[in-house]
Chain A
Amino acid sequence: MSYKITEEGNVSTVFLNGEIDMDITETAKETILPIIDSGKEVHLNLKDVSYMDSSGISVLIESHQRALEKGTKVVIKEVSKSVLKVIMMAKLEQILNLE
């Protein structure tokens, strides 16, 4: 997995890339959670994420819940077809903010 972050006002957009599995979830959390903790709105752009397993889904859930605690939000943008399928399998499409 690789990533890049862009900033615009109070919104940080994290562009994740590649395959997200248990091996990189700590890196993903270390990237995303501090931004949420700073109170910023986080957009996770998943258009270039080709694979996500249950560990990756856990990162999305943890990010979503941390944002609620901090009074901000995480928006999942441009989710790839393969990742959307896994999100829907977990029945999270109504829970997570998908755009």
Chain B
Amino acid sequence: MNLNESKDFLVHTSSLKEVRVFSREVFEKINLDVDLKEELVLAIAEAAQNIVKHGYKGVKETNDRMEIKISLKDNNLEIGFFDKGKPVIPENIQHRKLDDIKPGGLGTFFIKQIMDDAVFKKDEQQWVNHLILTKKI
């Protein structure tokens, strides 16, 4: 089964629930294991949270929107995130060491645990950041 669905969201913490609802609705159309679906929803929500938390750090309120695009082709799942926040420097993205127990720093770790790959591309003129998560399902 192939699919291609996208939706945009206000960059705000209150949008994270909408992101999960959208993701679950899309994954309902794919015959996936329930646990895998929830893992994918978590990965998507963490990436969206990173946009809100880090891409717009210090910004109290914005009308900017972020777009999430979920595509499936030949069992290759690709999830794109587009935002106009601060430019991400991929080399600076690090999750905390797991034995350094402290709040924070786990979102990126979860994404890496769940997905096969996560890369930033500079191919979208209308956006600042374009993150692509991929997984063979």
Contacts and interface: CB of A to CB of B under 8 A. Distances in A.
Given A19-B20, A21-B16, A22-B13, A85 B35 contact: yes
B interface, size bucket = 20 to 34
A57 B106 CA distance: 8
Interface of B is mostly: helix
Contacts, number: 62
Given A54-B107, A57-B106, A61-B103, A22 B53 contact: yes
Q: Which of B16, B45, B106, B109 has the most CB of A within 10 A?
A: B106
Contacts of A69: none
Contacts of B122: none
Main secondary structure of the interface of A (DSSP, over half): helix
Interface of A: 19, 21-23, 51, 53-55, 57-59, 61-62, 65, 82, 85-86, 89-92, 95
